[in-house]
Amino acid sequence: MSVLGERLKQARLESGLSQEQLGLRAGIEVESASARMNRYERGTRVPGVELMEKVGNVLNLPLAYFYAASEDEARLLVMFHRMSSKDKVNLLQFAERLMTP
């Protein structure tokens, strides 16, 4: 299974949605929603970026989460995505201080 497929499946299960429900909410036709989502999760097909943006919107996840190179990076992306604007600014300022020699 691909990283994208693993993350997609994990996020879908955590949301409590079936493959068909997620596919329908992301705009896939009813006739193929379940089958297409199954193929994406198994890694036998690769969804386009536009569809993954829609899936991310349904699951409240940033597009980059599905493609992140490491689990730590993926976790940070999710946390940052779900933070308030004020918390994002504070985190970025903190990170900049950490990076300043």
pLDDT (tens digit per residue) in 68-99: 989 999 999 999 999 999 999 999 999 999 99
Contacts of 62 (CB under 8 A, 6+ apart): 56, 77, 78, 80, 81
Q: Which ranges of the chain does DSSP label H, i.e. alpha helix?
A: 3-15, 19-25, 33-42, 49-59, 71-82, 85-99
Q: Which domains does the chain have, with CATH numbers?
A: 3-99 (1.10.260.40)
Q: Which long-range contacts (CB under 8 A, 24 or more apart) does 69-78 make?
A: 74/7
The pLDDT of residue 83 is: 97
Tell me the per-residue pLDDT of 23-71, one tens digit each, with 9 for 90 and over.
Answer: 999 999 999 999 999 999 999 999 999 999 999 999 999 999 999 989 9
Cα–Cα distance for residue pair 66/60, rounded to 1 Å: 12
